[in-house]
Structure formats: structure tokens, C-alpha cells
């Protein structure tokens, strides 16, 4: 019946059209065409309104890194490139989100005892290594015992000293760790990658660092090794990695990951220019001008570092005078250093804690740091003094005068004249050297006699920092996710192997540092930090200058890269299983669970 009706309507339209003049027919067909096009466009737009792009498996990401891996092994990884590869191939009991929160990885669950000393874990039933063998508590115990073995010389050994391990004899998936005393940052230790005991157990201790498993690794992480291309000397040119379908946190969307290695940044950037690689990790600011904005994005990630000049009052008595330390800090144009040395990829520092994460720990009540006495104004107070004038004001009020002959500031007390003279020691890295030169110039401008001493990295560490043989040290400190400042500012850490390079001592600060270390509640820990920082700032044991960004160049078709902070370069891979390059479009109604999850993140 319906078909007959359509035939009759079509016939009538045909007869009507046949009666049209040529001009009328042309107008009619144009109108029909416009109507058809508009209808199709409306349907297309309506359809798109109900479609949403979702990640889809596929794609290859090729990244370049400076250096060559030697130990792709979580126990003995010692370089950035070692740690990068280890983070991709291995996984630990826990992992960290881009926000720095702890999430279970190989563990399905964990709990911390009421006294904060025992950490208990249950390993996922489905957790397996990349050769198909299950991950058990024996593997975890084996890995930690290797870290604790002094003959292995693991860089992580100090973090595991005094920790006892207990496996549940009745359940091969349960294990616990007991500390001698509470240590809130301990959870970070538990992100260490786990070795497969069945592959490593027959490797003698003396051969541990020479095993082929260090360069052909098998772990339980997001990617597994498909192929390693080596040069004539046997050194790896690149690793071809495949997404591991049984990764505990979910198979990565990006199917292939190719990591290429280069001897220096110049060759790394050259490889990018000839499109041999798509992403570059941790490049220096001066190379950002070579990045093609049409195909790449420069991602800047706050890095857990604080650089500054640390005053050694034991070595140079000139720094015992607090006004000298205040004046030297005031004289530095920190904004200019960030602009010139970091090309803007960083921020100024006024605190021993870097500005990253949920809490801006340097955003404190001005009254709490008023006694630092370095924020002064000229005239009516409407205009802030220049850095040089501000510093000179502090010195002259303290009795320092310029010797017109030598051009050096001097102070006479009880007929003893002291010159404002000292040295700065730093490393030969271009960023350190250039920043130290700017600081030197700033201090010379206020009448200080400053000798800049530049050392190669190993020489600086072994012969300058460890024996504390420096007047002032331009250096950087690596601050962990939990803002554990104990190693850098507790009085017990003044001597090697402690990291208190300012040789700082303050009883009140010591007590707060001890409290922070023992406090597992994040909110309480941050509250204690806001009490600690003004104390250190007021004492001015260092001139804090800047915190740099980690510069990561990635292709524009890479999505879901969203770290808010990183402590080490390999932290950028924390949620690499969620990165994607390919997408599929589906109706929103079929994507409700995914949308809900994004809203809850």
C-alpha cells in the first residue's frame, strides 16, 4: 500500500516537472540540490554532536635520549637513561599518578600498621612478568635483598637499610616490610621495579652487573623488549618496545615505543630536525628554538629541584654575619637568571622547597618572614629599590663601607678590618656555570670580591662537596614527592654522607624535620612544612635562586600526557599506559563510563 502511494506521488511530481519551462526546471533542481545538501549537513552535524573521540590502540612513538643504557635493572640503574628504560620495562608494588598520588601497581592492596612501621602488600593474582611467569612475594623479597646486599652496590641501598622483610608462608602473594622507626616517605621506595627471581637467581653476585639481563631485560612493566639494535661495539642504538598486554595497570594504547640513544644534545636535536625522532626528553632551554611548532609541542613540567648558593660558615667566617647573607641574597636578580639561563623555563625560588604539587609551600604569610629584613623601599615606600641598592642599604646599615682604593666593601670591628671576600664553587655544567657567573657579577657590583671556581662533576663531588671544602657552593638539591627536607637541613646531616651542604643548625627546625619524617598524614605534613620554611628563610643559610622545568618535546598527536610535577626524568612515564596517538569516534551514550572516570580524576 505504501509503495503504491509513493509511486503515485513520484508520478505526479514527474508530471509537474515535465510541465515546467527550462528555467523553472533549473531552479527546481537547484532547490532540490540545496535541500539535499542541507539535510545531509544537518544529519552530519547532529551525528557529530553525539560522537566523542576515545583512545584507540595503535601508533608508534619514537623518542630520543642522551646517553646509552648500561644497567636496565632497577637494582643498579645509575644514570638517567638507565632509569628511563627501567621505568618502561619494570614495575613496582606501587606507582605514582601525574599528581604524585600513590596507586597500587603490582599490588592489589596494601595497608600500613597503626604505628606506621609495617607496610603489608598483597600482589595481584593476575600479575605476571613479560615471559608469562607469575609475580610472587619471592620475587619482591629477592629484589630487595639484592638492593640490601652491600656487594651489589645498589644506589638504592641506603633507602632500605634496617628494613626487614617477611613473606606469608601460606600465601605466596603476601609480603610485608618493617622499619626500625616511622618514615613517611618510605612508600616511594616501594615503587622500585621487581626482578624476576627465576631468571636472576643463578647469576652470581660478582657477575650481577655483567649479566646480559641488564641490557636484554624482562620485567612486568608497561613495555617489553621486542628488539635491540646495536652498533659494531655492541652498544645499543635503539630499543624497539612493544606494549605489554598483561601490564597490571592496563595495556598501553601506544603499540610501539622506539627509544633511540645519542651521545649529546646537539646530535639529539639534529636527529629531531631530520625527523628521525618525534620526542626529546629533558633538553636544555637553548635548544628549544630548534623545535618545529607545527609538528611538536613543548611540555614544561615543574621539576623537584632547588638551585641556590649555600653558605659554608665553617669555612668562611664572613658568612657568620647574617646581614652579609641577607645582602647577598637581595643583590641577585633571580628573574633575570631564570630568563637568561633557563630561557624562562623555570621560576624563581625563595625557599628550600620547590613550587610544585598541590600546595605552594612558599606562599606564606608575609609576617612569618618579616624578620628577614630584605624587602625594603625607597623614599615614601612607593617604589621598590633595585637589587643592588637594596643590598647596599643592608650592608651600609650594618657598618660596611666601600674601600675606594680596592673597590671592596670592608667592616672594622675592634680595630680588625674584614673584607667582603670569598669564593663560589660550582660544577662545569653550562647552566650552573652561567648562573654562577651572573651571581658573581651581581655580588661584585655591591663591592664583594668573589672568586668563581668551576669543577668537573666528579671532582666537585669528591674533592669539594664531600669534605665541605668551599666558601659558598652554587648547587642544586633534588626534593622528593613528600618534601622530605631532612637530608638537606637537619643538623645531623652536616657531614658526608649527609646532604646538609649549608651546614645548617637550628634546634627548632630539627624537631619539625623529625616530625615531618614520621608523619604519614599528608595534610599534617604540609602544615609542618609551612612552619619549617619561614624558620630556614629567616636564618638565610643559602640564597635560593630558581627551580627549573623539565622540558619535554612531544608530537602534537600525542594525548593524555599530563604530569603536574616530576622528581626525576623517568617520572614522566608514570602513566604512559594512558597515553594515546590514535582515536576512534563513538556515540556518547556508549562512552558514559569513560566520561564519568574523567570527571572523577
Distance of CA 76 to the CA centre of its chain: 20
Grid cell locating 555:
608530537
How many helices and strands, by DSSP H and E, does the chain display?
16, 25
Q: Find out whether 475 and 427 touch, Cβ atoms under 8 Å.
A: yes
Q: Find out whether 424 and 473 touch, Cβ atoms under 8 Å.
A: yes
Q: What does the pLDDT read at residue 372? A: 38
**Partners of 243 in the beta sheet?**
223
Q: What does the pLDDT read at residue 42? A: 64
Q: What does the pLDDT read at residue 56? A: 87
**310-339 pLDDT, tens digit each:** 999 999 999 999 999 999 999 999 999 999
Q: What is the DSSP letter of 395?
A: H
Q: What does the pLDDT read at residue 17? A: 57
Segment (H or E) for 328: helix 322-331
Q: How far is CA 91 from CA 77, 80, 428, in A?
A: 14, 17, 35
Would you call 92 exposed, middle or buried from its count of C-beta atoms within 10 A (0-12, 13-18, 19+)? buried
Q: How many CA atoms lie within 13 A of 117 on its CB side?
A: 8
Rounded distance between C-alpha atoms, residue 17 and residue 239, angstroms: 70
Buried b (16+ CB within 10 A) or exposed e, 508-533: ebbebbbebbebeeeeebbebbbebb
Q: How far is CA 492 from CA 158, 170, 503, 507, 542, in A?
A: 16, 42, 9, 11, 18
Name the phi and psi angles at 398, rounded to 5: -95, 5
408-413 long-range Cβ contacts below 8 angstroms, 24+ apart: 408/447, 408/448, 408/449, 409/446, 409/447, 409/448, 411/321
* Nearest Cα residue to 540 out of 322, 387, 316, 320: 322
* Nearest Cα residue to 570 out of 78, 61, 157, 135: 78
| Residue spans of the chain under pLDDT 50 | 356-383, 592-601
* Nearest Cα residue to 540 out of 324, 387, 359, 380: 324
Q: How far is CA 205 from CA 56, 212, 218, in A?
A: 44, 14, 19
- DSSP assignments along 417-471, one per residue: EEE-EEEEEEESSHHHHHHHHHHHHHHHTTT-EEEEEEE-HHHIIIIIITTT--S
Q: How many CA atoms lie within 13 A of 108 on its CB side?
A: 12
Q: What does the pLDDT read at residue 480? A: 84
Grid cell locating 501:
651542604
| Residue 432 neighbours by CB under 8 Å, 6+ apart | 307, 426, 474, 475, 476
Q: What is the pTM of this model?
A: 0.83
Q: How many CA atoms lie within 13 A of 157 on its CB side?
A: 12
Q: What does the pLDDT read at residue 228? A: 96
Q: How far is CA 397 from CA 115, 381, 400, 556, in A?
A: 52, 17, 7, 56
Q: What does the pLDDT read at residue 356? A: 47
* Nearest Cα residue to 246 out of 72, 125, 97: 125
3-class SS of residue 139 = helix
Mean pLDDT of the chain: 88
Q: Regarding beta strands 164-167 and 118-123, do their DSSP bridges make them parallel or antiparallel, or are they unpaired?
A: unpaired
Strands (E), 124-263: 164-167, 174-178, 223-230, 236-243, 256-262
* Nearest Cα residue to 477 out of 600, 585, 351, 581: 351
Amino acid at each position: 500500500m505504501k509503495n503504491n502511494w509513493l509511486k503515485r506521488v513520484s508520478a505526479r511530481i514527474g508530471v509537474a516537472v515535465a510541465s515546467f519551462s527550462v528555467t523553472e526546471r533549473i531552479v527546481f533542481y537547484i532547490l532540490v540540490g540545496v535541500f539535499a545538501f542541507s539535510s545531509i549537513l544537518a544529519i552530519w552535524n547532529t551525528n557529530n554532536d553525539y560522537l566523542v573521540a576515545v583512545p584507540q590502540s595503535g601508533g608508534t612513538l619514537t623518542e630520543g635520549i642522551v646517553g646509552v643504557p648500561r644497567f636496565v635493572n632497577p637494582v643498579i640503574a645509575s644514570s638517567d637513561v638507565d632509569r628511563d628504560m627501567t621505568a618502561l620495562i619494570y614495575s613496582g608494588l606501587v606507582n605514582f599518578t601525574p599528581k604524585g598520588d600513590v596507586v597500587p601497581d603490582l599490588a592489589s592492596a596494601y595497608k600500613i600498621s597503626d604505628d606506621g612501621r609495617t607496610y603489608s602488600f598483597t600482589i595481584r593474582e593476575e600479575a605476571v612478568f613479560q615471559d608469562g611467569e607469575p609475580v610472587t612475594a619471592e620475587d619482591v623479597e629477592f629484589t630487595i635483598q639484592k638492593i640490601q646486599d652491600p656487594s651489589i652496590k645498589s644506589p638504592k641501598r641506603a633507602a632500605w637499610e634496617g628494613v626487614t622483610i617477611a613473606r606469608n608462608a601460606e600465601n605466596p602473594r603476601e609480603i610485608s616490610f618493617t622499619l626500625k622507626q616511622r618514615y613517611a616517605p618510605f612508600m616511594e621506595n616501594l615503587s622500585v621495579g621487581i626482578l624476576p627471581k627465576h631468571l636472576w637467581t643463578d647469576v652470581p653476585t660478582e657477575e650481577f652487573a655483567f649479566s646480559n639481563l641488564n641490557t636484554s631485560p624482562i620485567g612486568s612493566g608497561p613495555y617489553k623488549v621486542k628488539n635491540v639494535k646495536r652498533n659494531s661495539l655492541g652498544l645499543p642504538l635503539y630499543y624497539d618496545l612493544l606494549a605489554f598486554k598483561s601490564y597490571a595497570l592496563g595495556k598501553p594504547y601506544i603499540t610501539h615505543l622506539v627509544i633511540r640513544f645519542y651521545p649529546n644534545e646537539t646530535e639529539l636535536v639534529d636527529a629531531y630536525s631530520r625527523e628521525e625522532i618525534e620526542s626529546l626528553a629533558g633538553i636544555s632551554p637553548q635548544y628549544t628554538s630548534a623545535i618545529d611548532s607545527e609538528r611538536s609541542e613543548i611540555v614544561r613540567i615543574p621539576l623537584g629541584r632547588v638551585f641556590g648558593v649555600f653558605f659554608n660558615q665553617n669555612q668562611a667566617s664572613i658568612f657568620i654575619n647574617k646581614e652579609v647573607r641577607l645582602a647577598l641574597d637581595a643583590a641577585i636578580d633571580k628573574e633575570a637568571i631564570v630568563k637568561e639561563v633557563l630561557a624562562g623555563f623555570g621560576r624563581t625560588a625563595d625557599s628550600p622547597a620547590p613550587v610544585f604539587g598541590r600546595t605552594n609551600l612558599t606562599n606564606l604569610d608575609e609576617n612569618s618572614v618579616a624578620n628577614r629584613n630584605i624587602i625594603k623601599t625607597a623614599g615614601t615606600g612607593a617604589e621598590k629599590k633595585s637589587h643592588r641598592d637594596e643590598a647596599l642599604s643592608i650592608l651600609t646599615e650594618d657598618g660596611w663601607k666601600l674601600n675606594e682604593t680596592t673597590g671592596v666593601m670592608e667592616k672594622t670591628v675592634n680595630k680588625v678590618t674584614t673584607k667582603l671576600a670569598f669564593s663560589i664553587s660550582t660544577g662545569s655544567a653550562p647552566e650552573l656555570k652561567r648562573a654562577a657567573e651572573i651571581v658573581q657579577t651581581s655580588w661584585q657590583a655591591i663591592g664583594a670580591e668573589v672568586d668563581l671556581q668551576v669543577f668537573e662533576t666528579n671532582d666537585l663531588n669528591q674533592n669539594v662537596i664531600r669534605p665541605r671544602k668551599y666558601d659558598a657552593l652554587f648547587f642544586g638539591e633534588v626534593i622528593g614527592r613528600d618534601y622530605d627536607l631532612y637530608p638537606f637541613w637537619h643538623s645531623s646531616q652536616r657531614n658526608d654522607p649527609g646532604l646538609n651542604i649549608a651546614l645548617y643548625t637550628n634546634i627548632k627546625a630539627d624537631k619539625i624535620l623529625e616530625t615531618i619524617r614520621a608523619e604519614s598524614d599528608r595534610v599534617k605534613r604540609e602544615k609542618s612544612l609551612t612552619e619549617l620554611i619561614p624558620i630556614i628563610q629567616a636564618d638565610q643559610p643559602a640564597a635560593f635562586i630558581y627551580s627549573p622545568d623539565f622540558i619535554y618535546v612531544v608530537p602534537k598527536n600525542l594525548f593524555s600526557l599530563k604530569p603536574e610535577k616530576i622528581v626525576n626524568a623517568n617520572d614522566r612515564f608514570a602513566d604512559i599506559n594512558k597515553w594515546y596517538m590514535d582515536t576512534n569516534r563513538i556515540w556518547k551514550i556508549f562512552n558514559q563510563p569513560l566520561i564519568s572516570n574523567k570527571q572523577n580524576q
